[in-house]
Amino acid sequence: MAQEIAPSPKVGMVSLGCPKALVDSERILTRLRADGYSMSADYEGADVVLVNTCGFLDSAKEESLDAIGEAIAENGRVIVTGCMGNEAELIRAKYPDVLAVTGAHQYEQVVDAVHEAAPAARGPFVDLVPQPDVKLTPRHYSYLKISEGCNHSCAFCIIPDLRGKLASRRIDAVLREAEKLVAAGTKELLVISQDTSAYGVDVRHEERMWKGQPVRTHMTDLARELGQLRTPQNEVPWVRLHYVYPYPHVDAVIPLMAEGLLTPYLDIPFQHASPNVLRAMKRPANEAKVLERLKGWRDICPDIAVRSSFVVGFPGETEDDFRYLLDWLEEAQLDRVGGFRFEPVEGAQANALPNPVPEEVKEERYTRLMEVTERISAAKLAAKVGRTVPVIIDEVGEPDEDGDIGATGRSQADAPEIDGSVFLRNVPATLAQGDIVNATIEEADAHDLFGFIA
């Protein structure tokens, strides 16, 4: 008599915050699927809902609390995890019905909580079926997290409190994961951490064997080895480095970009340029030397794109400090810039600093910052008109009334979700998500490019 297999419990997931949290969500769901659970795309079909929270800023905490409230209202059976998990008392005070609260990257605890809330009926046949990893990004790009935590004590940040001190993953494990992702169809790897340049500091850059050769747990060794990866079609995948503090050894990865082994893109969290503000932020104040290095990087790799983000209205920031930042940006000519108004977050040292900047001044400075960076971006993108550049395809549209098909992609200067896009017209019907094509640019605005496949 055939044994009937009980239907597997379904888990819903709401993932908030940064790409690092998204990787945590993928790992949790991968574990749960291996334990016999299936995934639900909506509240209604879920036996339990996981909310992976963000606790970096007070506004992010509010968004997380709202998401928890919505999940409780729509489903009722909710487990909370992520960066806001260290504020369990606050969460339970507002939502006493949550089933469990766990902290950031506490995979075992959250999986145990799901087992308790909705036990899976595992069978001998189900257990034999190998389960692929769960991905929450499109198939053609993947985040590769190389470490947890951070050793910095920046005055505006509570990441070390939320995620602990730097804890680097074994380099052979990182490279094995990267190889597996590329073999499964990933065309673009986005290397993420809290501080990519510090990778391996906590383990004294220990050596591990990889393909018969010793490799150090170090950013430059990691970058070199990632540059050796090839897709099943023997193409070089894009490898994009995020959260790179400009330590001296960063210079060593620029030649790899010039050789086409790494994507010519660096995401560097400068935060400000004024020495006074950087000191108050407890960040290294070497903005002049950075300008020299930017010039050196561009001499080696003219196509390098540098993105960064800046905080305006930090306590004590004067008009002179802000003008210093604007002048620095005019000289630095960064390709992509994000701006943030300073926002106090509970537990950050900056909250106790004197001379807070009034909200209306923050808003006015933010507007001026965006005007300057938008003008720089528009000029840089206009210079690309007439050039042919590689573009990775994110989405292919449906034919319009004339039968023309459009597509949306990104150049090597554009990371998903945070930078601009390349909009292509009249693409062939055979074009697919994840294809990398050469596109001729015919128009540009302040953020995006427009063109056609060459």
Q: What is the pLDDT of residues 237-266, one digit of tens each?
A: 999 999 999 989 999 999 999 999 999 999
Token couple for 197: 């340049």
442 vs 452: CA distance, rounded Å: 8
Q: Evaluate whether 45 touches 71 at the Cβ level (below 8 Å).
A: no
| CB-based burial label for 232 (10 Å; 0-12, 13-18, 19+) | exposed
Which pLDDT value is given to residue 125?
A: 45
330: left (phi over 0), alpha (psi -120 to 50) or beta: alpha
| Arithmetic mean of pLDDT over the chain | 90
Which pLDDT value is given to residue 401?
A: 86
- Residue 1: pLDDT band (50, 70, 90) is very low
Which pLDDT value is given to residue 408?
A: 97
268 vs 256: CA distance, rounded Å: 17
Which pLDDT value is given to residue 6?
A: 57
pLDDT of 429 strictly over 50:
yes
Which pLDDT value is given to residue 18?
A: 83
Which percentage of the chain shows pLDDT scores above 70?
A: 95
Query: Bigger pLDDT: 25 or 387?
Result: 387
Which pLDDT value is given to residue 92?
A: 93
Which pLDDT value is given to residue 2?
A: 46
Q: Is 437 helix (H, G, I), strand (E, B) or coil?
A: strand
- Residue 151: pLDDT band (50, 70, 90) is confident
From residue 430, how far is each of 399, 407, 425, 454 by CA, in Å? 12, 12, 14, 15
User: What is the CATH T-level fold of the domain 10-128, as seen in this structure?
Assistant: Rossmann fold (3.40.50)
Pick the CATH number of 388-453 from 1.10.8.60, 2.60.40.10, 2.40.50.140, 2.60.40.420: 2.40.50.140
313: left (phi over 0), alpha (psi -120 to 50) or beta: left
Segments of the chain assigned to CATH 3.40.50.12160? 10-128
Give the mean model confidence (pLDDT) for residues 34-55: 89
Token couple for 140: 């053609």
pLDDT tens per residue, range 57-115: 778 888 999 999 999 999 989 999 988 888 889 999 999 999 999 988 788 899 999 99
Q: Please identify, in words, the CATH class of the domain defined by 141-382.
A: alpha beta
- Residue 128: pLDDT band (50, 70, 90) is very low
* Residue 359, C-beta contacts closer than 8 angstroms, at least 6 positions apart: none
175 vs 43: CA distance, rounded Å: 36
Give the mean model confidence (pLDDT) for residues 175-204: 95
Which pLDDT value is given to residue 122?
A: 56
Which pLDDT value is given to residue 211?
A: 94
289 vs 184: CA distance, rounded Å: 41
**Gyration radius (Cα) of the chain, Å:** 23
pLDDT of 358 strictly over 90:
yes
Which pLDDT value is given to residue 124?
A: 46
Which percentage of the chain shows pLDDT scores above 90?
A: 69
251: enclosing H helix or E strand: none
Segments of the chain assigned to CATH 2.40.50.140? 388-453
290 vs 269: CA distance, rounded Å: 12
